[in-house]
Chain A
Amino acid sequence: MLLEINNLHASVNDVEIIKGLNLTIAPGEVHAIMGPNGSGKSTLAQALAGREDYLVTDGSVSYKGRDLLDMEPDARARAGVFLGFQYPVEIPGVSNVYLLKAALNARRKEKGEPEIDAIEFMRFIKDKAKLMELDEKFLSRGVNEGFSGGEKKRNEIFQMAVLEPDLAILDETDSGLDIDALKVVANGVNKQRDGQRSFLLITHYQRLLDYIEPDHVHVLANGRIIQSGSKELALELEEHGYDKILAAAS
């Protein structure tokens, strides 16, 4: 197993948000977690990435057989956990290329690989930019500086393409995207499905799953997964809304 979450409890500001969550992801699988607002979707993503304010109070998370919760956020990233942020931050004056080169080299160092040389790196990221239909001028711009909402999201997927993680957690990457941008993002994700890389897609809406076909769909409500199924579960949700399934669960 790549990721095994066992009875996870997590709090934000002393309020328990995740209340005993179990989830197992095998290499190459695409899992979608859906749920109404406030169900704990983003908290799960942040807690897995190791954000300080998201306090894990109970349970365990094993990643590649290691205790994920015991690792610093940057160590998790270097071990191949990638979080596509719901709200990517701007870092003025730091170019995309600069951040990515530092990030990529940190990851390579972890794997015992030598630093990538500048020319090879530029060739590499230009290919990846093409994949994401990202204009090359984005590469030299400040990280997310003055980007539109859609550009920020596309940039997240581009970064994922460059860093080639083993587990990509995409937190509401589809929100705020028009249909064309959604297709570009979905296309970028699909091109990175290689049978080894695993994805955890966190979304409120079913429409993302029209373009990225998941292996498993889970419904998260009140901090727990209340139902799991195949991609048909997502369609069912789309048709009946969350109310029915929530009522059935309670």
Chain B
Amino acid sequence: MASKQDNVKDIVDRKYEHGFFTDIEADTVAPGLDEEVIRLISKKKGEPAFMLDWRLKAFAYWQSMQEPDWAKLKRDAIDYQAISYYSAPKSKADAPKSLDEVDPKLLETYDKLGIPLHERARLAGVAVDAVFDSVSVATTFKQKLAEAGVLFCSFSEAVKDHPELVERYLGTVVPQRDNFFAALNSAVFTDGSFVYIPRGVRCPMELSTYFRINAANTGQFERTLIIADEGSYVSYLEGCTAPQRDENQLHAAVVELIAEKDAEIKYSTVQNWYPGDEEGRGGIYNFVTKRGDCRGNRSKISWTQVEAGSAITWKYPSCVLRGNDSIGEFYSVAVTNNLQQADTGTKMIHIGKNTRSTIISKGISAGRAQNAYRGLVKMFPTAENARNYSQCDSLLMGNRCGAHTFPYMEIKNPTAKVEHEATTSKIADDQLFYCRQRGLSEEDAVNMIVNGFCKEVFRELPMEFAVEAQALMNVSLEGAVG
């Protein structure tokens, strides 16, 4: 028993062994953004020169760019000089000391979602020094991954330990000047995840940010880079169904995926950031750039997302189908309630021959929320025999919400085939009545109908995630009818 305790203690202590967090505990950079701030960030992180140059280049681009306004979103202007771009892990002085001090409503939600007790504290931002289970689990898993040759670490660690990989791949899918928010992220990102799956390796487990040691401190500008080398496979899960609290209003992450020849990446997201109160106050702006590059022949990238949180969600996980016979997939459920807004969809860029893409998008609006699907299917002249199938379904609950579909198509090859189907429906009174006549309460009936509507997407999620996603859907739409 004693030795077991020592082990646990070891593991707990190890979290701090890099000294990174403890060193900077007192540090916070004053709000504002200029070259000096970027130099400071890079220096604090002990980055090699190429990284600083890369950041500075991004910053120069960003300064010349205009904030885009084409999305169907209403929001207040963001003051970029009011944001602090580097802050040490949040001071624990202000954090709740225990779950007793946490908003009971939040705890109730955790309960409904079936979040394990030890996770609740971390999610609610309680000042706990170590979350025993997840740390030890993470350590065990890391060992298993190392045996397979998989690299899975924080972005900061990757920059230090595998600079050659970072330098080779970073920004090759989402270049610094790709868009305003990507440029900002490139200049100031503080951390994120890095994954490299070597040639021919099938990653032995689902990789989840849930088990990522530094997950709590990735901050508002997160950077993720996943590389699947030839013939490899990885399934990556991002996010968590539990409502996550964060003081930062703007979240501008960048995710880059690279699939080499015959490689496959499956990327699943459940996003449930704080949506703000019923009047939409205080919610998170989630402006994310996610793109995957099917670089090699017969490669495949599949995005599955369940977007339930945030005041505003603005993102288009995309696939560049460069390799011949490569495959891109996008499965999405976006649910908006109260005053939430979502403008989300995908881009499928067909370049290689015989490339195929599938888009299944399910938008659900309730309350006074607005939900837009925006998608681009582009067939290059080189995309011989390329195929796309898109299906966009919207479900409205009540009569004060909106659903919008903006499909864009650019077809430059006569052999390419594109199919698009779109439906908009209301939860029909007769469906509700039918379920109630069989004995289901109104709330259960709504949940059942909504889950049925989302089924094609949920079944793409890894099993345990799918169950959580259903529960999340029910909680998100509570009180939406009646």
Contacts and interface: CB of A to CB of B under 8 A. Distances in A.
A130 B256 CA distance: 53
Contact of B431 (A76, A91, A110): A91
Contact of B435 (A53, A92, A99, A142): A99
Contacts of B433: 49, 51-52, 73
B439 A103 contact: yes
B437 A93 contact: no
Interface of A: 49-53, 72-74, 76-78, 82-83, 85, 88-89, 91-94, 98-100, 102-103, 106-107, 110, 142, 159, 163
Interface of B: 428-431, 433-442, 444-445, 448-449, 451-456
25 contacts: A49-B437, A51-B433, A52-B429, A73-B433, A73-B436, A74-B437, A74-B442, A74-B445, A77-B437, A77-B438, A91-B434, A91-B435, A91-B449, A91-B452, A92-B452, A93-B451, A93-B453, A94-B449, A102-B439, A102-B440, A103-B438, A103-B439, A106-B438, A106-B439, A159-B438
Given A94-B448, A94-B449, A94-B452, A89 B430 contact: yes
B453 A92 contact: yes
Given A74-B442, A94-B448, A103-B439, A85 B456 contact: no
Nearest to B429: A52
Given A52-B429, A74-B442, A78-B439, A88 B434 contact: yes
Contacts of B431: 89, 91
Contacts of A100: 438
B454 A74 contact: no
B440 A106 contact: yes
A82 B440 CA distance: 13
A245 to B, nearest CB: 32
Given A49-B433, A85-B437, A99-B438, 9 more contacts: A73-B433, A74-B440, A82-B437, A88-B434, A89-B428, A94-B449, A102-B444, A103-B439, A103-B440
Contacts of B449: 91, 94
Interface centre among A82, A94, A98, A100, by most B CB within 10 Å?
A94
Nearest to A169: B437
A86 to B, nearest CB: 11
Contacts of B428: 89
Interface centre among A49, A76, A89, A100, by most B CB within 10 Å?
A89
A110 B445 CA distance: 17
A162 B430 CA distance: 21
Top 10 A-B residue pairs of the complex, sorted by shortest distance between their CB atoms? A93-B452, A94-B452, A93-B455, A103-B438, A106-B439, A77-B439, A74-B436, A73-B436, A78-B439, A103-B439
Given A52-B429, A85-B434, A89-B430, A142 B452 contact: yes
A218 to B, nearest CB: 23
Tell me what chain B mostly uses at the interface: helix, strand, loop, or mixed: helix
Contacts of B442: 74
B455 A73 contact: no
Contacts of B429: 52-53
Interface centre among A78, A82, A88, A92, by most B CB within 10 Å?
A92
Contacts of A78: 439
Nearest to B449: A91
Nearest to B448: A94
A93 B436 CA distance: 17
Contacts of A142: 452
Nearest to A88: B434
Given A94-B449, A102-B448, A142-B452, A107 B439 contact: yes
B249 to A, nearest CB: 35
Nearest to B428: A89
Contacts of A88: 434
A77 B436 contact: yes
A77 B437 CA distance: 5
Nearest to A87: B430
Interface centre among B428, B441, B442, B456, by most A CB within 10 Å?
B441
A93 B433 CA distance: 17
B437 A73 contact: yes
Nearest to B438: A103
Contacts of A73: 433, 436-437
B438 A163 contact: yes
B215 to A, nearest CB: 33
A213 to B, nearest CB: 27
Given A94-B448, A102-B448, A142-B452, A89 B434 contact: yes
A226 B429 CA distance: 33
B95 to A, nearest CB: 40
Nearest to A46: B433
A53 B438 CA distance: 18
B453 A74 contact: no
Nearest to A81: B437
B452 A74 contact: no
A142 B434 CA distance: 14
Nearest to A95: B452
A50 B433 CA distance: 9
A21 B88 CA distance: 76
A94 to B, nearest CB: 4
Contacts of B430: 89
Given A89-B431, A91-B431, A102-B444, A72 B436 contact: yes
Contacts of B456: 93
A76 B429 CA distance: 18
A93 B439 contact: no
B348 to A, nearest CB: 24
Nearest to B444: A102
A110 B430 CA distance: 24
A146 B98 CA distance: 53
A58 B431 CA distance: 27
Nearest to A103: B438
Interface centre among A53, A83, A99, A100, by most B CB within 10 Å?
A99
A56 to B, nearest CB: 16
A99 B434 CA distance: 10
B264 to A, nearest CB: 26
B22 to A, nearest CB: 50
Interface centre among B430, B435, B454, by most A CB within 10 Å?
B435
Contacts of B444: 102, 106
